[in-house]
Amino acid sequence: MTTAFYNKYLLFIAGLGGLLYGIDVGVIAGALPYLQATTDYSASQISFVVAAVLLGSVLSSLFAGSLADMFGRKKIMILSGICFVLSVPVICIPTGFAWLVAGRILQGAAGGFIGVVVPLYLAECLPAEKRGFGTGMFQFMLTIGLVFAALAGIACASYVGKIEAVEYATLAEKGAAIFAAKDFAWKAIFWICAIPGVIFSLGAVVISESARWLYKRGKKEEALAAIVRSRGEEAGKKEYDEMAAEPVAETTADEVAPLKKDSLLQKKYIVPFVLAVVILACNQATGVNSVLAYIVDVLSQAGLEGALANWGDLIVKCLNCGMTIIAMILVDRLGRKSLLTIGTSGIIIGLLGVALLFWRSEAKMVDVSSKVVAQQRTIVETKMNEKLGIAVVDAEGKEVKENVTYEAIIPFPAAALGELTGIQNVKDYQVKVVYTQGEEKVIKTIIAKEDTKIEDATFKVKQAKDVEGKEVLPFTLEAVEVGPLPSATNGWLVTIFFALFIASFAVGPGVCVWLALSELMPNRIRAVGMSVALLINQGVSTVIAATFLPVVGAWGYSSIFFFCAGCTVIYWITAVFFLPETKGRTLEEIEAFFESKKKLD
C-alpha cells in the first residue's frame, strides 16, 4: 500500500467514524414516531430513551482517553465500532424498556469513544499539512451521518405508507398490519444504520497504531515503521527524529508510563487545556444542536406554515454539508484561527438576526391567561386503541378504558382577542399555549383557518382516563398569550439568518473544534485532556437542550438566541486574542510554543 493510498485510506476510516457519530445523534429522530406508536411507554420513558445515548457518550468519554493510552488508539477505535454494531441487536431483538435503554447507552458509548479517539488518532498520524483536511472529513461525514439516518427514516416511512394504503377485509386486520409495519420500521432504521459500523470495525483493523503511542510504550521500531507508512521514508524519519528529541516517559509494552518530574500545572499544560475547554464549551453554547433539533418548530413559529418549515430545514441542512466541504479545503490554507474568527463572527450576526426578529414578534404578544375560560372535558368515541390492536395502560399498568379518549378543550380566548383587535375571525393571529401533561412541559401555538369564527376556535389536548376515571397524564394549563401571526416573509428572513448561522458554524467551529481538541493538547495529557474537554462539551450541550423549551416557554425564542449570541462573543474573543495558529505545525512544535521555546510564525 503506497503512502498516498494509505493516507486516503486513513481519511476514509476517519470519515466512517464521523458518519457513525452523526448516525448516533440522528438515528432516533426517524425511529421515534414508530416506537411511540407500537409501545405503551410514557413520555418520560421515551425522553429517557432519547437521552440514554447522551448518558452512554458521557460515560465513555470519561474513560476513552485513559483506555486509548492504556490499550492504544487503534484498539479503542475497533472497540467503538463493535459497540455500535452490538447496540443494534440489543435494541431490536429483545423486548422491554430496559433492553432498549441498555442498547441506546451502548450506542452512546460508541459515539463517546469515536468523538475522542478518532480526532486523537488523526492528529497523531496524519502529516501536519493534511491534519486539517482529515479532521474536516470527520466533521463532513458527521453531517452526512445525520442525512443518512434521515434517509433511512424516509425509506421506512414510505414502507409504512404503502401498508396504510392497502385495503383489508376488516378494520382489525388493517390495524394489525399497520402495527406490524410500524414495529418493523423503527427496528429497520437501526439495522440499516448498523451497516457503516460493520465497515468501520473491519476497516480499522488494517490501519497502523499511532506512532506516538508506540514510541511512548517503548516500541521504537514499530513507531518508526508506522510513521514511515504515512509519511514516506525521508519525511517519516525526519518527523521520527523530532518526536524522539522530545522528552517522553517511555515504557515497555506491559508497563504504565511513570509520571515525569515536571508538574501538570505548568503553563505548557494548563494554557492549552483551558483553551481547548473554552472552545469546546462555547462550541455547544452556540446552540447548534438545539437549533438542528427544533428548527422545524422554530421556523413554524417564525411564520413558515406547514411544508414550508420542512423546506427551510432541508435548505439549512444541505448548506451545512456544502459549507463543511469548503471548510475542508480552506482549513489548511487559511488556518484554524482565521476560520474560527470568520465563523464565530457569522454565528453572532446570524443569532442576533434571529433573536431580533423573534423579539419583534414576541413584543406584540399579550398575556391573556386570566381571561381564558376554564378548561372543559369532553368524551370523544374513537377506534384508536382497537386500530392499534393493543391494550393501552397507564404508568401504573392499569388498563385504560377501551375505545374512549378524553380531550381537554381550551376555548380560544375570544373575548380577550376581540377586546385587543375588534376582528370577527382569527386569521393572521396566534395563541401560544403553555401546558404541562404528565411530567412534560409542552408549548403549542393555535393558528386558526381563515374562515374560523372566534367562538369556534378551540385548542384540544388528547387525554385518557383509566376504568376508574383516573387521568393517565394529568393536564395543567400554565399560560396563554395572543398576538399577530408572523408573516411568511418574517419566516424566510429567520431562515436566512439561520442559514448564515449554520454556514458560519460549518466553515469555522464545525471543523476547527476537532482540530483544537486534538492539536492544542500536549502529548503527555492529550488523551485524558481530550476526554475531559469533550465531557464538558457534552455537558453544555445537555444543559442547553434540557433548558431550551422551558426558557422559550418562559421568555420566548428571542431570549435563548440572545444568550447563545452572547456565548459566541466569548468564543470570538478566545479565537482572536488567545488562540495560536497551528496550521502546518507538528504537534511537537505546537507544544514547544506553549513552553515559550519558540513562536508559531
Query: How confident is the model over 292-303, as pLDDT tens digits?
Result: 766 766 777 777
Distance CA 140, CA 15 (A): 8
Q: Using alpha carbons, select from 556, 567, 544, 565 the residue that is nearest to residue 498.
A: 565
pLDDT of residue 399: 55
Cα 233–234–236 angle (5° rounding)? 65
Distance CA 591, CA 21 (A): 29
Give the three-class secondary structure for 94.
Answer: coil
Calculate the average pLDDT of the chain. 75
pLDDT of residue 253: 45
Does position 476 have pLDDT exceeding 80, yes or no?
no
Structure-model confidence comparison of residues 110 and 55, the more confident one: 110
Query: What is the band of 372 on the pLDDT scale with cuts at 50, 70, 90?
Result: low
- Using a pLDDT cut of 70, give the percent of the chain over it: 69
> For residue 354, what is its C-alpha cell?
434571529
* pLDDT tens-place string over residues 217-252: 888 889 888 888 888 888 888 878 877 776 554 444
Distance CA 203, CA 197 (A): 10
Q: Locate cell 433573536: which residue?
A: 355
Choice among 98-112, 255-269, 519-533, 587-601 with the minimum mean pLDDT: 255-269
pLDDT of residue 133: 75
* pTM score of the predicted model: 0.64
Contact between 175 and 389 (Cβ < 8 Å): yes
Structure-model confidence comparison of residues 416 and 169, the more confident one: 169
Structure-model confidence comparison of residues 312 and 568, the more confident one: 568
Structure-model confidence comparison of residues 138 and 74, the more confident one: 74
- At the top level of CATH, the class of 1-209 is mainly alpha
Structure-model confidence comparison of residues 428 and 173, the more confident one: 173
Does position 480 have pLDDT exceeding 90, yes or no?
no
pLDDT of residue 500: 92
Query: What is the band of 112 on the pLDDT scale with cuts at 50, 70, 90?
Result: confident
Q: Locate cell 490501519: which residue?
A: 207
Category of 266 on φ-ψ map: left (φ > 0), alpha (ψ -120 to 50) or beta: beta
pLDDT of residue 427: 58
Does position 194 have pLDDT exceeding 50, yes or no?
yes
CA–CA distance from 454 to each of 386, 419, 420, 431 (Å)?
35, 12, 13, 12
Distance CA 73, CA 10 (A): 13
Question: Quick one: 255 exposed, middle or buried, by C-beta within 10 A (0-12, 13-18, 19+)?
Answer: exposed
pLDDT of residue 78: 94
Does position 394 have pLDDT exceeding 50, yes or no?
no
Instruction: Mark out the alpha helices in 363-479 (DSSP H runs).
Output: 384-388, 414-421
pLDDT of residue 390: 40
Give the three-class secondary structure for 211.
Answer: helix
Q: State which CATH number among 1.20.58.760, 1.10.357.140, 3.30.70.260, 1.20.1250.20 fits the domain covering 267-364+485-601.
A: 1.20.1250.20
Q: Using alpha carbons, select from 170, 497, 230 the residue that is nearest to residue 358.
A: 497
pLDDT of residue 342: 92
Distance CA 495, CA 499 (A): 6
Distance CA 224, CA 465 (A): 70
CB atoms within 10 A of CB 476: 12
- Cβ within 8 Å of residue 167, ≥6 positions away: 174
Question: What mean pLDDT do residues 279-298 have?
Answer: 78
Query: In 11-36, which positions are buried (b, 16+ CB within 10 angstroms) versus exposed (e)?
Result: bbbbbbbbbbbbbbbbbbebbbebbe
Residue ranges per structural domain of the chain: 1-209, 267-364+485-601, 373-412+429-484
